[in-house]
Amino acid sequence: MDLALFDLDNTLLAGDSDFEWAQFLIERGVLDRELYEARNAEFLDQYRRGVLDIHAFLDFQLKPLSRHSRRQLDDWHRAFMRSRILPIINEAGRALVRRHLEEGALAAIVTATNSFVTAPICAHFGVSHLIATEPESIAGRFTGRVAGLPSFREGKVTRVEQWLAGRGRKWSDFDRSFFYSDSLNDLALLARVSRPVAVDPDETLAAHAKARGWPILSLREPHVSLGTLELPHHE
């Protein structure tokens, strides 16, 4: 059996769901544009440069969840999926996920973005397992704090290993382990699997992939064939 792990933002999605969620709330008037828009863009830039303070970002991202009921948040999220997420889903990414599932892989989406934002997106891809940053919730209401270890950088490796252990599994149980990502922030997990794949990578990850002979895949190019998409091989 294979293990197939997928980053979400700018990998399966042609965009960043964290960034899009904040922009969605700004456009709805839930968040003040003057206060939040520049900060949202600043955090995205820090992430791309590999210098993001994850705890400062999570304070920014999770606090708005604590100000509204779960029913209201869920209503907004349904509109968010329609207007912001469905238009940026890579069809080739959907085909790649489907191919792994059809071949019997244990699959999970592994993302730094919080599970409130990403769980419905994960379900849309037909993936049963999500390893994401978890927002703390008490009595059904978000507190604005993070629960446990954020699924970010080296934390992704730890969270995947905790998830596997909870299923009575370990890395050596799998014939092959894949991880698909676009970001330099995911170098730790890419280095841990037996089949790392750089997907539409940033410059730093592209350089690492070329130096190490990792496959580089684009899910955005028009030449990608959905019907014949092959799993990358890396020996």
CB 2 within 8 A of CB 106: yes
Give φ, ψ of 82 to 5 degrees.
Answer: -65, -45
Residue 224 lies in a domain: no
Structure-model confidence comparison of residues 140 and 130, the more confident one: 130
Residue 61 lies in a domain: yes
Instruction: Inform me whether the pLDDT recorded for 169 exceeds 50.
Output: yes
Instruction: Inform me whether the pLDDT recorded for 147 exceeds 50.
Output: yes
**Residue 39: domain span:** 2-217
Active site residues: 7, 9
Instruction: Inform me whether the pLDDT recorded for 125 exceeds 90.
Output: yes
Instruction: Inform me whether the pLDDT recorded for 227 exceeds 50.
Output: no
CB 214 within 8 A of CB 187: no
Rounded to two decimals, the pTM is 0.91
Rounded to an integer, what distance in angstroms lies between the CA atom of residue 231 and that of residue 13? 18
Residue 222 lies in a domain: no
Mean pLDDT across the chain, nearest whole number? 91
Residue 23: give its domain's CATH number: 3.40.50.1000
Least Cα distance to 65 among 138, 129, 141 occurs for 141
Check residue 168 and give its pLDDT: 97
| pLDDT tens-digit series, residues 55-85 | 888 888 898 899 999 999 999 999 999 999 9
Rounded to an integer, what distance in angstroms lies between the CA atom of residue 94 and that of residue 13? 9
**The total number of structural domains that make up the chain:** 1
Residue 225 lies in a domain: no
Residue 56 lies in a domain: yes
Residue 230 lies in a domain: no
Q: Tokens 């003057």 identify what position? A: 34
Query: Is the CA virtual torsion 211, 212, 217, 220 positive or negative?
Result: negative
Residue 200 lies in a domain: yes
Check residue 234 and give its pLDDT: 43
Check residue 229 and give its pLDDT: 46
| pLDDT tens-digit series, residues 26-62 | 999 999 888 888 888 888 888 888 888 888 888 888 9
Check residue 107 and give its pLDDT: 98
pLDDT band at 232; cut points 50, 70, 90: low
Residue 228 lies in a domain: no
